Amino acid sequence: MIAKFTAIAAAVLIASPVLAQTGDAAKGKAVFARCMACHTVDPGVNRLGPSLAGVIGRTSGSVPGFAYSPAMKNAKIRWDAKSLDAFLTKPAAQVPGSKMIFAGLPNPADRANLIAYLASASKK
Ligand code: HEC
Protein backbone atom coordinates (compact mmCIF):
# COMPACT_ATOMS: atom_id res chain seq x y z
CA MET A 1 0.00 0.00 0.00
CA ILE A 2 2.70 2.47 1.04
CA ALA A 3 4.92 1.34 -1.82
CA LYS A 4 2.09 1.90 -4.27
CA PHE A 5 1.44 5.38 -2.88
CA THR A 6 5.13 6.26 -3.12
CA ALA A 7 5.20 5.15 -6.74
CA ILE A 8 2.22 7.34 -7.55
CA ALA A 9 3.73 10.32 -5.71
CA ALA A 10 6.99 9.88 -7.61
CA ALA A 11 5.13 9.74 -10.92
CA VAL A 12 3.26 12.94 -10.07
CA LEU A 13 6.51 14.68 -9.15
CA ILE A 14 8.17 13.68 -12.41
CA ALA A 15 5.15 14.74 -14.44
CA SER A 16 4.79 18.17 -12.80
CA PRO A 17 5.86 21.23 -14.80
CA VAL A 18 8.50 23.83 -13.96
CA LEU A 19 6.69 25.06 -10.88
CA ALA A 20 6.76 22.60 -8.02
CA GLN A 21 3.47 24.08 -6.88
CA THR A 22 0.42 24.51 -9.05
CA GLY A 23 -1.43 27.67 -8.22
CA ASP A 24 -5.06 28.30 -7.47
CA ALA A 25 -6.32 31.20 -9.60
CA ALA A 26 -9.19 32.02 -7.23
CA LYS A 27 -6.77 32.44 -4.34
CA GLY A 28 -4.43 34.34 -6.64
CA LYS A 29 -7.10 36.93 -7.30
CA ALA A 30 -6.98 37.83 -3.60
CA VAL A 31 -3.18 38.11 -3.77
CA PHE A 32 -3.54 40.42 -6.78
CA ALA A 33 -5.19 42.94 -4.42
CA ARG A 34 -1.61 43.84 -3.43
CA CYS A 35 -0.80 44.75 -7.03
CA MET A 36 -4.00 46.63 -7.87
CA ALA A 37 -2.83 50.02 -6.65
CA CYS A 38 -0.50 50.00 -9.65
CA HIS A 39 -1.69 47.29 -12.08
CA THR A 40 -4.84 46.09 -13.85
CA VAL A 41 -5.44 42.93 -15.88
CA ASP A 42 -7.42 44.95 -18.44
CA PRO A 43 -5.78 45.32 -21.85
CA GLY A 44 -4.40 48.81 -22.41
CA VAL A 45 -5.20 50.07 -18.91
CA ASN A 46 -1.94 51.27 -17.39
CA ARG A 47 -1.74 52.81 -13.94
CA LEU A 48 1.48 53.53 -12.08
CA GLY A 49 2.55 50.17 -13.55
CA PRO A 50 1.78 48.65 -16.98
CA SER A 51 -1.33 46.56 -17.68
CA LEU A 52 -0.68 42.90 -16.85
CA ALA A 53 -3.20 41.64 -19.41
CA GLY A 54 -1.41 39.00 -21.47
CA VAL A 55 1.76 39.32 -19.40
CA ILE A 56 2.53 35.59 -19.63
CA GLY A 57 4.44 35.03 -22.84
CA ARG A 58 5.38 38.62 -23.51
CA THR A 59 8.79 40.27 -23.20
CA SER A 60 9.46 42.62 -20.29
CA GLY A 61 9.09 46.31 -20.99
CA SER A 62 6.89 45.87 -24.06
CA VAL A 63 3.50 47.46 -23.28
CA PRO A 64 2.99 50.27 -25.81
CA GLY A 65 2.69 53.72 -24.29
CA PHE A 66 4.05 52.77 -20.88
CA ALA A 67 7.15 54.68 -19.70
CA TYR A 68 9.33 51.86 -18.38
CA SER A 69 12.61 52.37 -16.56
CA PRO A 70 15.66 51.71 -18.74
CA ALA A 71 16.37 48.74 -16.44
CA MET A 72 13.08 47.03 -17.27
CA LYS A 73 13.28 47.95 -20.94
CA ASN A 74 16.73 46.43 -21.22
CA ALA A 75 16.06 43.34 -19.09
CA LYS A 76 14.45 41.48 -22.03
CA ILE A 77 12.94 38.84 -19.76
CA ARG A 78 10.37 36.51 -21.27
CA TRP A 79 7.59 36.47 -18.69
CA ASP A 80 6.56 32.92 -17.91
CA ALA A 81 5.72 31.10 -14.69
CA LYS A 82 9.39 30.66 -13.84
CA SER A 83 10.61 34.20 -14.53
CA LEU A 84 7.55 35.76 -12.85
CA ASP A 85 8.13 33.59 -9.80
CA ALA A 86 11.72 34.82 -9.57
CA PHE A 87 10.80 38.48 -10.19
CA LEU A 88 7.93 38.52 -7.70
CA THR A 89 10.08 36.97 -4.98
CA LYS A 90 12.23 40.12 -4.89
CA PRO A 91 11.68 42.53 -7.80
CA ALA A 92 14.62 44.80 -6.95
CA ALA A 93 17.03 41.87 -6.97
CA GLN A 94 15.83 40.48 -10.31
CA VAL A 95 15.69 43.80 -12.14
CA PRO A 96 17.98 46.25 -10.31
CA GLY A 97 16.96 49.82 -11.09
CA SER A 98 13.34 48.94 -11.82
CA LYS A 99 10.87 51.58 -10.77
CA MET A 100 8.46 48.97 -9.42
CA ILE A 101 8.53 49.79 -5.71
CA PHE A 102 7.38 46.54 -4.20
CA ALA A 103 9.28 44.45 -1.65
CA GLY A 104 8.15 41.10 -3.05
CA LEU A 105 6.02 38.11 -2.15
CA PRO A 106 8.07 35.84 0.14
CA ASN A 107 5.43 33.08 0.27
CA PRO A 108 5.83 30.58 -2.63
CA ALA A 109 2.13 29.62 -2.46
CA ASP A 110 1.10 33.27 -2.86
CA ARG A 111 3.33 33.54 -5.93
CA ALA A 112 2.04 30.30 -7.48
CA ASN A 113 -1.58 31.32 -6.91
CA LEU A 114 -0.99 34.81 -8.28
CA ILE A 115 0.71 33.45 -11.41
CA ALA A 116 -2.24 31.08 -11.97
CA TYR A 117 -4.55 34.09 -11.67
CA LEU A 118 -2.48 36.15 -14.12
CA ALA A 119 -2.51 33.22 -16.57
CA SER A 120 -6.29 32.87 -16.38
CA ALA A 121 -6.97 36.62 -16.43
CA SER A 122 -4.61 36.98 -19.38
CA LYS A 123 -6.73 34.69 -21.55
CA LYS A 124 -9.60 37.19 -21.59
C1 HEC B 1 3.74 50.68 -6.17
C2 HEC B 1 3.29 50.26 -7.48
C3 HEC B 1 3.42 48.81 -7.86
C4 HEC B 1 2.98 47.70 -7.17
C5 HEC B 1 2.30 47.62 -5.82
C6 HEC B 1 3.27 46.56 -8.03
N7 HEC B 1 3.89 46.97 -9.20
FE8 HEC B 1 4.47 45.80 -10.75
N9 HEC B 1 5.24 47.41 -11.70
C10 HEC B 1 5.16 48.72 -11.25
C11 HEC B 1 5.89 49.59 -12.14
C12 HEC B 1 6.07 51.09 -11.99
C13 HEC B 1 6.42 48.75 -13.16
C14 HEC B 1 7.33 49.15 -14.30
C15 HEC B 1 8.74 48.89 -13.80
C16 HEC B 1 9.86 49.52 -14.60
O17 HEC B 1 9.63 50.09 -15.68
O18 HEC B 1 11.00 49.44 -14.11
C19 HEC B 1 5.97 47.40 -12.85
C20 HEC B 1 6.26 46.29 -13.62
C21 HEC B 1 5.77 45.02 -13.40
C22 HEC B 1 5.98 43.89 -14.26
C23 HEC B 1 6.73 43.89 -15.58
C24 HEC B 1 5.67 44.17 -16.65
C25 HEC B 1 6.18 44.29 -18.06
O26 HEC B 1 5.39 44.74 -18.89
O27 HEC B 1 7.35 43.95 -18.34
C28 HEC B 1 5.33 42.85 -13.70
C29 HEC B 1 5.23 41.43 -14.24
C30 HEC B 1 4.72 43.32 -12.49
N31 HEC B 1 5.02 44.64 -12.32
C32 HEC B 1 3.95 42.54 -11.66
C33 HEC B 1 3.46 42.99 -10.43
C34 HEC B 1 2.69 42.16 -9.53
C35 HEC B 1 2.23 40.75 -9.84
C36 HEC B 1 2.45 42.90 -8.40
C37 HEC B 1 1.74 42.47 -7.13
C38 HEC B 1 2.32 41.34 -6.43
C39 HEC B 1 3.03 44.20 -8.62
N40 HEC B 1 3.63 44.21 -9.84
C41 HEC B 1 2.97 45.25 -7.72
C42 HEC B 1 4.51 49.16 -10.11
C43 HEC B 1 3.99 48.34 -9.13
Residue 37 CA: which ligand 1 atom is closest?
5
CA of 89 relative to ligand 1 center, distance in Å: 12
Is residue 109 lining ligand 1, measured as CB closer than 6 Å?
Answer: no
CATH topology of domain 20-122: Cytochrome Bc1 Complex; Chain D, domain 2 (1.10.760)
Confidence at 22, pLDDT banded by 50, 70, 90? confident
- 38-50 confidence digits (pLDDT tens): 999 999 999 999 9
Mean local confidence (pLDDT), 66-88: 97
Q: What is the distance between the alpha carbons of residues 70 and 94, in angstroms, rounded to a whole number?
A: 14
Q: Would the pLDDT of 11 be above 60?
A: no
Confidence at 2, pLDDT banded by 50, 70, 90? low
Is residue 48 lining ligand 1, measured as CB closer than 6 Å?
Answer: yes
Three-state secondary structure of the chain: CHHHHHHHHHHHHHHCCCCCCCCCHHHHHHHHCCCCCCCCCCCCCCCCCCCCCCCCCCECCCCCCCCCCHHHHHHCCECCHHHHHHHHHCHHHHCCCCCCCCCCCCCHHHHHHHHHHHHHHHCC
Confidence at 14, pLDDT banded by 50, 70, 90? very low
CA of 22 relative to ligand 1 center, distance in Å: 22
Is residue 28 lining ligand 1, measured as CB closer than 6 Å?
Answer: no
Q: Would the pLDDT of 28 be above 70?
A: yes
